[in-house]
Amino acid sequence: MPISAPEPLNDLHDLSQFTSGKPSLDNWLKQRALSNHRKGFTAVTVVHDAGRVVGYYGLAPTAIIPTAMPRAIRTGQPPDPVPCLLLGQLATDTAWAGQGIGTGLVKHALERCVAAATLVGGRTLVVNAVDGDAADFWARRGFVPSKDDPMILFRSITDIAVSITSASS
Ligand SMILES: CC(C)(COP(=O)(O)OP(=O)(O)OC[C@H]1O[C@@H](n2cnc3c(N)ncnc32)[C@H](O)[C@@H]1OP(=O)(O)O)[C@@H](O)C(=O)NCCC(=O)NCCS
């Protein structure tokens, strides 16, 4: 059976076998994701193989103090804090690694962020890198680290929107 299209997490999804190799992301999915999704803290999107979740990401609104942001994103006279979107979690099960699932989830998340920011605002997407390899993964996708914490990276929604438009034209 092919991997599903991305869809919102629900209680029929099987999370029990999910292993990304990063315990914090595995435990969050198994213990927190459904509750956080239901309460509106985080919108969790999954892809699955016959119900077994093999990849997921979590998106949430957030707000960041301007001085923590890269200067190119802060620009002008921003409100304090700056309304932003947060991609707090992204992981693929190791048994499905290297098949483009992570890339597909990132693309889906970026499109969602542009659509959401068009409706309600949001200057930048913020990502939490789980480790140095993850920070490199985001840097290869145009994200710039915070001055204060190299594990927190930013890419402006404007920049993301331009990249999506040019990729589809
Ligand atoms: C990062 C991650 C989501 C990629 O998932 P994936 O489904 O394997 O991704 P893709 O097949 O689309 O490949 C994406 C990248 O992962 C690399 N990759 C794929 N399989 C890999 C493997 N077995 N080992 C190391 N890197 C691998 C690819 O080379 C590619 O690199 P790129 O940045 O140069 O494009 C996944 O490796 C993962 O869950 N890692 C642990 C959690 C994590 O680091 N999350 C990222 C942000 S916190």
| Residue 169 pLDDT > 80 | no
Q: Is 137 in the pocket of ligand 1 (CB under 6 A)?
A: yes
| 110 vs 77: which has the higher pLDDT | 110
CB 46 within 8 A of CB 9: yes
Structure-token pair, residue 62: 């957030």
141 CA closest ligand 1 atom index: 33
Q: Is 39 in the pocket of ligand 1 (CB under 6 A)?
A: no
Q: Where are the domains of the chain?
A: 7-168
Q: Is 100 in the pocket of ligand 1 (CB under 6 A)?
A: yes
Rounded distance between C-alpha atoms, residue 127 and residue 129, angstroms:
6
> What does residue 122 show for φ and ψ, rounded to 5 degrees?
140, 115
User: Which of 134, 128, 125 is CA-nearest to residue 164?
Assistant: 125
When pLDDT is cut at 50, 70 and 90, the band that residue 15 belongs to is very high
Q: Is 158 in the pocket of ligand 1 (CB under 6 A)?
A: no
Say what the pTM is: 0.95
Per-residue pLDDT reduced to its tens digit, 89-105: 999 999 999 999 999 99
* Conformation bin of residue 51: beta by default, left when phi > 0, alpha when psi is -120 to 50: left
Per-residue pLDDT reduced to its tens digit, 114-166: 999 999 999 999 999 999 999 999 999 999 999 889 999 999 999 999 999 88
Is the bond leading into 81 cis (omega within 30 degrees of zero)? Answer: yes
Residue 101 Cα, ligand 1 centroid: separation in angstroms? 8
> What does residue 42 show for φ and ψ, rounded to 5 degrees?
-140, 135
Into which CATH architecture does domain 7-168 fall? 3-Layer(aba) Sandwich (3.40)
CB 57 within 8 A of CB 134: no
Rounded distance between C-alpha atoms, residue 121 and residue 133, angstroms:
30
Per-residue pLDDT reduced to its tens digit, 47-84: 999 999 999 999 999 999 999 999 889 888 899 999 99
Q: Is 44 in the pocket of ligand 1 (CB under 6 A)?
A: no
Mean pLDDT of the chain, nearest integer: 96
Long-range contacts of 38-45 (CB under 8 A, 24+ apart): 42/88, 42/89, 43/8, 44/8, 44/9, 44/89, 45/6, 45/7, 45/8, 45/9, 45/105, 45/108, 45/109, 45/112
131 CA closest ligand 1 atom index: 44
**E strand or H helix at 89:** strand 82-92
**Residue 67 CB: number of other CB atoms within 10 A?**
11
Residue 67 Cα, ligand 1 centroid: separation in angstroms? 31
